[in-house]
Structure 1
Amino acid sequence: MPSVVSRVPSPPERKRKTHAKSRKGCGNCKLRRVKCDEGKPKCKKCVLYGVSCDYDGSKPSLDLSAEGAFQVNLACGEATLDFSVAPEKPPVSLNKAAAAMVNHSLSDTAYNQADGLVMAGLPHLHRFSSWTFTEKDMEIVTRFQTRTVSTIGSKKASSTYRDCIAHLAFTHPFLMHMVLSLTLLHDAHLTTCPNSDLATDFQKASLTHWNTATKLFNALLSRPIPPSYRDAIWATGALLGTASMAYIESSDPAQAWPLKPPDPNDLNWLKLNEGKRAVWEIADPSRPESMFYSLGKHMNHLQRPDWVANPDFSSVPPRLAKLFDITEQDSVESNIYYLPLLCVQHTQLLSLTHGFVLPFIRFLLYMTPEFRALLELKDPRAMLLLLWWFRRVEAGHAELWWMTRRAKIEGRAIEIWLERWYGGEEGLMQMFERLRGGAVGEVQVREMEEDPAMVLMECTGWAKERLSASVFAQ
C-alpha cells in the first residue's frame, strides 16, 4: 500500500502592527509584555483589569486594586478589601479579576508561540491556546504555592522553587499546566480514601493538564529556544520528574509493576531521569543570570561525587561482592550492578528527609540504560537492588509523598514477585523486613556496619547459585 503524505497548508501570513517600543510603561504591562499607553495615574489596561498601576516599581506587580484599595496575596490565599476610598463602587470579584489578568498574560504568550508551533509541524496544538485560566485554577496555584511546592526536593530546593516557579508560570503556559497537574496529583494523594471518586477526579484533571504541558513543552524543545525561556524549562523539567515519580495508576500492589500485565509504558518514570539531564544541559540553571543560580551551582546532576568517579572496591563487603559478581578488576562501567549497589549503600545510615534527598535520588540519576534493561527483563539481582532502594525510600518523611507513594506500592509488588519466584527456604523477604522500619534504628545500624552482606545472605538463604541459574526467567 503506498504511503500517504499529508501536508499542513501554510497559514495565511499574519501581519502585526508595528509600534515604537518604549521603556516607560507601567510594571504590569512590562511583566505581561504588552504595550502600555503610559496613561497617568493609571494606564488603560490596568484600569480594565482592576490592578494597581505602578510606574516606579514601588508596589508589587500584579496586585489587584479597586481605586487602589484592595489586593490579592497569593502566599496566604486570601484577599483584603477596603472600599472607604470609593464607597460608590460596587463589590467586585477579586479572584475573577486576578484570573482574568493571568489568563490574558498566558494567552499573549500562547499567541506569540503560535508561529513556532506551525514551524515545528504541530499546528494542532493551537487549540491549547484557547484554554482559559479560571478562578478555580487560581485556587490550585495557591495550593501549590502554600503547600505542594514545600514538598518538592531538598529544603533549599523547595524554598527556591516557591520563590520562582509560580512567578514563571504566569507567563509560560507549559509550566502553568505542570503546576496545576502536580498540585492536583498531590490533592489526590491527600484524599482520605485513595480509591474514592474525589481522588479519581483529581487524578483525571491532573493527567489532562499533564498531557497539555508535555505537548506544549515538547513543541517548544523542538525549535530554537529563546534565552528567556530557560528558567521556565528547568522548572518544568523538575516538576515533570516529580510528577513521574509520584504517579502510579493503582494503589493495589497486585495491579502494579511487576505483577500487572506487561505494558510498553512500564518503568517510564525511570526513563525521565535521562530527560532531566538533557533539560539541565539546555537550561543550565547554574548560569549566573538564572533565577535558580544559587541552587543550580550546588546540584549539578552532571557532576558525579568522588565515590562514584573513583569507587573503592574495598567499600563493598565480600559477600555482597560475590552476590553481584563484583571483582577487584571491576569498575562502574564493567559491572552493571556496581553503581546501583554503591548508591544504595550510601543511604544505609541516612533517613530520607528534606535535608537528605540527593543521596537517595542518586540511585535514579546514575541509573544506566543497561541496568534499566535488566529491570525490564525482571532480572532478580536488579529487582533486589530496586527493592532495597524502595525500602530505604519508604521509610522516609511523609511530606516527600512523591517518592514514598511509589516505593510503598511497587516495593510491595516486587516483594510478592520475588517471593513467588525466588523465595528461598527462609524467604527472600525476611531480609527486607529487617531493612524496613522507618528511621534507621541502633540494631539495624549495627548490623549494617558489621556486614550488610550478612543480612542479605543469612536472612534469605538465597544462594549465589540460585541467582546465576535462570537469571532472566520469570
Structure 2
Amino acid sequence: MPSAETSSGRKRKAHTKSRRGCGNCKLRRIKCDEAQPECKKCQAYGVSCSYDGEGSNELQHSGEGAFRIEPAVPDGGTLVDFGPQNLPTPPNEFPAGMLGYGLTLHDTEEVYRITEKDMDIFRRFRERTAMTIGTAQTVDTYRDAIGKLGCGHSYLTHVMFAMVLMHDRYLSDDPWGPPSNAETFHHYHGTAIFNSMLSKPIAHEEKDAMWGAAALLGAITLASMDATTPEESWPLAPSSPSDLDWLRMSDGKKEVWRLADPTREDSIWRSALQFDYKKAPTPQTYRRPEVETLIPHLTDLYGVDDLSKEAGDPYHTAASIIMRLLPIQCTHSTILYFLSFLGHMDPAFKQLLHQKDPKAMLLLAWWHAKLLDYSAWWLQRRATLECKAICMYLQR
C-alpha cells in the first residue's frame, strides 16, 4: 500500500523530519525550527537549547537542575489526552496526594510531574505567601481553597508555583536578581494556558479557578519589575511598549471578573469578595498636618469640589479617590480601598499617564506613596521606585 494513504483511503500529510534539530526537540519528539543559537521552540518552552547531540531523558534549564517532563503516554499504552476536559481525577488527599500528579503544559502533550520540592512550594504558599496577598478577608480562601482548585486546573497550580518562587526571590540575599528558571517555567505555562482559556467561553466549573489565577497574576504583574533604581523606572527610563503593563493587567482582571462572576451564589470567593462599602466600617483616619495642608491645594488643582467638572473630566475620579485615601493608612485590612484606585481608573486618565501628563502622574505618585505604609513584598518595589522616578521626572 502506498505510504501516503491509509487503509481508509485518507491521504496522510507529508512530513519532513528535522535531521539537524536540537536535543530537546528530539527528546520532545517535535519538529525543530533549527534556529541558531537557540531554536524558537526551546525559547518558548523555557528550556536551554543545545545542538551538541548529547541527549538525556530530561529537559535542561540553564543554571539549575532539570525539570522532568514526561510524555502523556503510559508504558505500552496509547496517547492520553490531558486537555481541560480529560484531566486525571484530582487526588482526594491534599496536598499529600499531589505528589507525582501530572500538570498539563502549554502546546504539548507532555505533562509536568509534581515532585517533593513542589510539595514544599505548596506548603510555603499555605503558610507564608497566602498570608501576604489579597486582603485580610481573602486570606482563608487563598490558603485553603485555591490549592484544592489547582488540583483540577493546572494553570492555577503553575501560577501559584510562580508566585511562591517569586516570593522566595524577594526574601533571598539577592532580591533584585532575575527570576529563576523554575519561576519562569511555571509563569510561562500558567499564563499561556490561562490566556488560551480566555480565548473561548469559560465553562462554569472553570470560573473559580480562572478568577484565582487572574488575582495571582495581577499581584505577579505588579511585582514584576526589572528596574533596580528610579532612573531605570518609568517614566525616567527610555519609552517601551511594555510601559505601564501593570495597568493593562488591571483591565484584564476586570474582564475576568465579568466572565467568572466570583460573587455568584456558588462561588468559593463569594463570602470573601462581597464587600459593601456603605455597610463597611469607615477606615480609621489619622491627622497629619502636611496632609491637611495639602488637601485644599489638591481640591483647587483638580477642581474636585466642582460638580460641573465631574462629567468628562479625566482627573475627577482619580483625584476624588486619592483625596479620600490620603488620611487612611494602607494595611492588609484597608488595601482594598487602595486597589479601588486601579479598578475605577478612567481610560482617558490612563491615556494621560501614557502621555506623561504631569497632573495625572502626580496623582499616581501620591497613590504609590500611600502604598509605602504597607510592607507587602509584591507592592513595595514598584511603589518605591516609580514614586521616586515620577517625583524626579516632575522636578526636572
Structure 2 residue 213 is the aligned partner of structure 1 residue 157: no
How far, CA to CA, are the matches of 1:367 and 1:395 in structure 2? 22
1:178 maps to 159
Q: Residues 137 and 273 of structure 2 are in contact (CA less than 8 Å); yes or no, is this contact kept in structure 1?
A: no
How far, CA to CA, are the matches of 2:202 and 2:316 in structure 1? 38
How far, CA to CA, are the matches of 1:364 and 1:126 in structure 2? 33
How far, CA to CA, are the matches of 1:191 and 1:155 in structure 2? 25
- Letter matched to residue 360 of structure 1: F
* CA displacement at 1:241 relative to structure 2: 0.8
Q: 1:191 to 1:330 in 2, by over 3 A?
A: farther
* CA displacement at 1:135 relative to structure 2: 2.3
Give me the TM-score of the superposition, normalised by structure 2: 0.69
2:22 maps to none
* CA displacement at 1:327 relative to structure 2: 6.5
Structure 2 residue 382 is the aligned partner of structure 1 residue 351: no
1:99 maps to 99
After superposition, the C-alpha distances for 1:91-110 in whole angstroms (9 at most, x for unaligned) are xxxx8x8421x22xx35xx7
After superposition, the C-alpha distances for 1:226-270 in whole angstroms (9 at most, x for unaligned) are 211111001001101111111111222111111111110110101
User: Which shows bigger deviation, 376-385 or 329-338?
Assistant: 329-338
How far, CA to CA, are the matches of 1:363 and 1:205 in structure 2? 33
Q: 1:272 to 1:330 in 2, by over 3 A?
A: farther
1:430 maps to none
How far, CA to CA, are the matches of 1:332 and 1:135 in structure 2? 56
**Which of the residues 396, 404, 407 maps onto 2:380?**
404
Larger RCO: 1 or 2 (CA < 8 Å, sep 6+):
2
After superposition, the C-alpha distances for 1:40-96 in whole angstroms (9 at most, x for unaligned) are xxxxxxxxxxx9xxxxxxxxx326xxxxxxxxxx5xxxxxxxxxxxxxxxxxxxx8x
1:213 maps to 190
Structure 2 residue 107 is the aligned partner of structure 1 residue 126: yes
- Letter matched to residue 191 of structure 1: S
How far, CA to CA, are the matches of 2:186 and 2:311 in structure 1? 39
2:116 maps to 135
Please state whether the residue corresponding to 2:371 is helix, strand or coil: helix
2:89 maps to 33
1:389 maps to 367
Question: In angstroms, what is the RMSD of aligned CA positions?
Answer: 2.8
Counting only pairs closer than 5 Å after superposition, residues 267-346 of structure 1 correspond to structure 2 as 267-298=244-275, 319-325=297-303, 328-346=306-324
How far, CA to CA, are the matches of 1:356 and 1:317 in structure 2? 21
* CA displacement at 1:325 relative to structure 2: 4.8
1:418 maps to 394
- Letter matched to residue 349 of structure 2: F
How far, CA to CA, are the matches of 1:208 and 1:330 in structure 2? 52
Q: Residues 182 and 243 of structure 1 are in contact (CA less than 8 Å); yes or no, is this contact kept in structure 2?
A: yes
After superposition, the C-alpha distances for 1:394-445 in whole angstroms (9 at most, x for unaligned) are 122x2x221222101111111211121xxxxxxxxxxxxxxxxxxxxxxxxx
1:20 maps to none
How far, CA to CA, are the matches of 2:394 and 2:109 in structure 1? 45
User: Which shows bigger deviation, 229-238 or 134-143?
Assistant: 134-143
Q: Residues 326 and 335 of structure 1 are in contact (CA less than 8 Å); yes or no, is this contact kept in structure 2?
A: no
How far, CA to CA, are the matches of 1:376 and 1:320 in structure 2? 22
1:360 maps to 338
State the percentage of identical aligned residues.
Answer: 34
* CA displacement at 1:317 relative to structure 2: 5.7
Q: Which has the higher helix share?
A: 1
1:188 maps to 169
Please state whether the residue corresponding to 1:176 is helix, strand or coil: helix
Please state whether the residue corresponding to 2:263 is helix, strand or coil: coil
Q: 1:333 to 1:277 in 2, by over 3 A?
A: farther
Q: Residues 304 and 316 of structure 2 are in contact (CA less than 8 Å); yes or no, is this contact kept in structure 1?
A: yes
How far, CA to CA, are the matches of 1:272 and 1:236 in structure 2? 12
Q: Residues 156 and 213 of structure 2 are in contact (CA less than 8 Å); yes or no, is this contact kept in structure 1?
A: yes
* CA displacement at 1:329 relative to structure 2: 4.2
How far, CA to CA, are the matches of 2:391 and 2:326 in structure 1? 19
Give me the TM-score of the superposition, normalised by structure 1: 0.58
Structure 2 residue 352 is the aligned partner of structure 1 residue 374: yes
How far, CA to CA, are the matches of 1:331 and 1:211 in structure 2? 44
- Letter matched to residue 352 of structure 2: L
- Letter matched to residue 138 of structure 1: M
* CA displacement at 1:205 relative to structure 2: 3.3
How far, CA to CA, are the matches of 1:327 and 1:156 in structure 2? 33
Structure 2 residue 280 is the aligned partner of structure 1 residue 224: no
Q: 1:364 to 1:98 in 2, by over 3 A?
A: closer
Structure 2 residue 233 is the aligned partner of structure 1 residue 256: yes
Q: 1:347 to 1:265 in 2, by over 3 A?
A: same
2:93 maps to 62
Structure 2 residue 236 is the aligned partner of structure 1 residue 236: no
After superposition, the C-alpha distances for 1:283-324 in whole angstroms (9 at most, x for unaligned) are 111111111121232279xx9x9xxxxxxxxxx965424322
How far, CA to CA, are the matches of 2:153 and 2:225 in structure 1? 27
- Letter matched to residue 383 of structure 1: M
After superposition, the C-alpha distances for 1:104-149 in whole angstroms (9 at most, x for unaligned) are xx35xx7xxxxxxxxxxxxxx4327433332222222221111101
How far, CA to CA, are the matches of 1:349 and 1:126 in structure 2? 49
How far, CA to CA, are the matches of 2:174 and 2:349 in structure 1? 35
Unaligned runs of 5+ in 2: 1-12, 14-77, 80-86, 281-293
Q: Residues 180 and 209 of structure 1 are in contact (CA less than 8 Å); yes or no, is this contact kept in structure 2?
A: yes
- Letter matched to residue 341 of structure 2: F
* CA displacement at 1:391 relative to structure 2: 0.7
Count of matched residue positions in the alignment of Structure 1 and Structure 2: 300
User: Which shows bigger deviation, 328-337 or 228-237?
Assistant: 328-337
